[in-house]
Structure formats: structure tokens, C-alpha cells
Amino acid sequence: MPDLALPIRTLIVDDEPLARRWIRKLLADEPDFELIGECGDGPQAIETMRKDLPDLVFLDIQMPGMNGFGVLSALEKEILPAVVFVTAYDQYAIDAFKFHALEYLLKPFSEERFREVLLHIRETLQNKKSQGISSRLQSLLEEIKQAQSSLAQSLAGERPPSEESGIDRLAIKSGGKISFLKVNEIHWIEAAGDYLEIHHAGGNSMIRGKIGEIEKKLNPRQFMRVHRSTIVNIDQIKELQPLFHGDYQIILHDKAQITLSRNYRDKLASLLNKSL
């Protein structure tokens, strides 16, 4: 970690411009924090952190392409800064940060919560406890690395062969006419009240129905329930990123990001004939 010299040189890393703007606005009232830059993606963040050696980084976890954990894993341990994780994750991720005694901001966060985090960061850095922050970060990254290794081993094999089943196409009513959508063109399905939003190769379509009803009609070897409100076409999954306590983030080929709830993890394991 770089040697600390006041003011605390700070970098914002978040793919959402509004999130960066909110943090920038709050930092403007803190004279002992100097904003040295902003980054909107992982590769840019790595380059900037290696070049400018910030003391502190506000780091968004959920970014397309390379998430916040990937950014930290790519850095040499000698230059790891203090990090405030900015996340929209649920309580399970927060529990992990608390376990490793790392600071976090849960989106959307208030000005009061932001000041509280800054107070703790200020005290930690000025009391020269930064080495302890580096150790805790490395511990968290090692935990994630082990989870990724386990996941890679689990996904090393192919799905077991099976006979096809389920409907071949869906009827979509729109503008007074009915069109038919081949189910293998569906990327994922999301419940929206009494309707279902079908995300497919040609865009999005809405049909009336319940998630449980359409799940029964689809080929169970091609479509999997990954959340109480979401079904995914297995062939559209590009990668799985482990989160915490059994949850995963699913990245689809169309760049959609979906949470695989730990409650449905065993179902995926059964489909792949592997353990997760």
C-alpha cells in the first residue's frame, strides 16, 4: 500500500455515472480527501491505480466485464489501497465485508452513512493501520479465488445427455396480432407481477402468466429456475462468478447479469451432474 500523505488521495471506480457523481459531490465537502480521478470500468481502474497509487478507492463490485474483485486481484499486493466497496448486493455480501472488517457502502446510501465510513477510513489511515487493511483485502481475495477454483472444477464436465422435452415455441400477442417465438431464442425470463418479460434474440416481449407455470412447459434440460422470479436458458450462460454464502452472479452472452440464488444452486449442480 502506498505511503499515506495528507490529503488522502482518492479514486472513484464505478460504471454508473450517477453513482460517481454522488460520491464526488460528497467528497467535495471533505478537504482532507483529494479526488485524483474517476474510472468507469475495471481495466481503466487497474491502469490508473498502478500509475497514480491512490490511498483510497471507492470500488463498485458489480461492473460488466471485470468486477471489483477482479480489479483487486490483478493488482500487486504492494500497491493495494484502502478500499470502500460500493455494492447493491444483499446481506450475504455485507456479512463477508464485516467478517473481514472492510468498509462498504450499500446502494443507495445516505450522506450520513457516507460520512460514517469516511470517519473510520480517516482514523484508520492516519493511525497508520493501512497494512492491516491490505492483509484483510488479501484474505478476502483469497477466499474468492478459492471459490472460483472450486467452481471451475465443478463446471469442467459437460451436461449429461437427455431427451428433449417441453414446448418448441411461445405465442406472443402484440398490436392485435400473434407471433410465435422459438424457445431456443429465449435468453432469460423474468416475472413482472401477472406478466412475464421474455428476453430473447429479437428484444423483449411481455406475455401474461406466472413463472411457475411457464417453468413446467419448458425443457428442464435447457431452462433452469435460478431465482424465484427468474428462469435462464442454460446455453446463454457465459460465466458464473461466485459471490458469498453459495450465491453466484450469472453473466449471459448478451451481457445481462442475473443472481443465482443459493436456494437453486443444487438444481444447477444436478443439471450439470456436478457439485457446486
Report pLDDT for 116: 94
Residue-wise pLDDT tens digits, 170-228: 888 766 567 788 888 999 999 988 889 999 988 888 888 899 999 988 998 889 888 88
Beta bridge mates, 180: 171
Helix/strand/coil (H, E, C) string of the chain?
Answer: CCCCCCCEEEEEECCCHHHHHHHHHHHCCCCCEEEEEEECCHHHHHHHHHHHCCCEEEEECCCCCCCHHHHHHHCCHHHCCEEEEEECCCHHHHHHHHHCCCEEEECCCCHHHHHHHHHHHHHHHHCCCHHHHHHHHHHHHHHHHHHHHHHHHHCCCCCCCCCCCCCCEEEEEECCEEEEEEHHHEEEEEEECCEEEEEECCEEEEEECCHHHHHHHCCCCCEEEEECCEEEEHHHEEEEEECCCCCEEEEECCCCEEEECHHHHHHHHHHHCCCC
The 237-242 sheet, strands edge to edge: 237-242, 248-252, 257-260
Residue 188's pLDDT is 94
CA torsion 188-190-196-202 (nearest 10°) is -40
pLDDT average, residue stretch 92-119: 83
pLDDT tens track for 107-116: 889 999 999 9
Question: Which residues lie closer than 8 Å to 127 by C-beta, 6 or more apart?
Answer: none
pLDDT at 24: 96
For the chain, state the CA radius of gyration.
22
User: CA–CA separation, 182 vs 136, rounded Å?
Assistant: 49
- 140-177: per-residue pLDDT in tens? 777 766 655 555 554 444 444 444 567 888 888 766 56
Calpha distance 82→116 (Å, rounded): 16
What CATH number is given for 8-154 in this structure? 3.40.50.2300
- Pinpoint the residues of the chain covered by CATH 2.40.50.1020: 169-272
Q: Indicate whether 130 pLDDT > 90.
A: no
Alpha carbons 10 and 38: distance in angstroms, whole number: 9
Distance of alpha carbon 85 from alpha carbon 138, whole angstroms: 14
- Closest by alpha carbon to 108, among 84, 87, 91? 87
Q: Rounded mean pLDDT of the chain?
A: 81
Q: Which residue has the higher pLDDT, 50 or 139?
A: 50
Query: In the chain, where does the domain assigned CATH 3.40.50.2300 lie?
Result: 8-154
pLDDT greater at residue 152 or residue 21: 21
Task: Select from 2.60.40.1180, 3.30.1330.40, 2.40.50.1020, 3.40.50.150 the CATH code of 169-272.
Answer: 2.40.50.1020
Dihedral sign of CA atoms 48, 32, 101, 15 in order: negative
Contact 185, 201 (CB under 8 A): yes
Inter-residue contact 131 to 139 (CB < 8 Å): no
Give the range among 187-191, 228-232, 261-265 with minimum mean pLDDT.
261-265
49-75 mean pLDDT: 89
- State the pairing for strand pair 103-106/82-87: parallel
